[in-house]
Amino acid sequence: MEFVLAGAKVRLTHKNDRIEAHGEEKILACDLDFLFETTNDVLSQFNPAMHAAFYMRPDSPQGELAEDPKHMTALRLPEISGALALDGRMKGEFKLGTGGKKDMVLPDCTLTKFKVECKEGGTVVVHFQAKTRPDEGQAGRISGFLRDKHVIVTFTPAEDPQRPLAGQAA
């Protein structure tokens, strides 16, 4: 899985504050539930075969006019409705805010509980949860995003030491 968000406008739908015990130390942790709508190209981030598994070219004259063979907007399996849960867990840096200099950076974040909801026309609703450990000030600011509803998010996955970086030989 290669899930990356770069300045995506997402909706914070739920925030759960909790305490994690790390030995004798008690640490504030938060589970943040998000969703956003995007193009069906996002499916390839979860698995390269998902895009073609869930979408096909429309069986209409408009579908034949599209020059891009990846332009698949018709649901291949319209009988499937609702969100589909996906396995996956990613660690990395999570940045959220309004897109300015005061955005929060949460360096040790885990994204999990991925779900995708495929819609006719090529739109996909992506749901995910971010597990993070903000300080008290950050936790308060995050609560404000529940009221505002939308936030700008960037997620940068932690580098996998088993995988060569771009431009390096394996």
Domains of the chain: 5-46+83-157 (2.40.30)
> Does pLDDT of 77 surpass 70?
yes
Tokens encoding 148: 């505002």
Tokens encoding 74: 């018709």
Convert the pLDDT of each residue in 10-60 to its tens digit: 999 999 999 998 889 899 999 999 999 999 999 999 998 999 999 998 875
> Does pLDDT of 160 surpass 80?
no
CB of 108 closer than 8 Å to CB of 116: no
Which is nearest to 10 in space by CA: 29, 28, 30, 36? 36
Which is nearest to 137 in space by CA: 30, 34, 11? 30
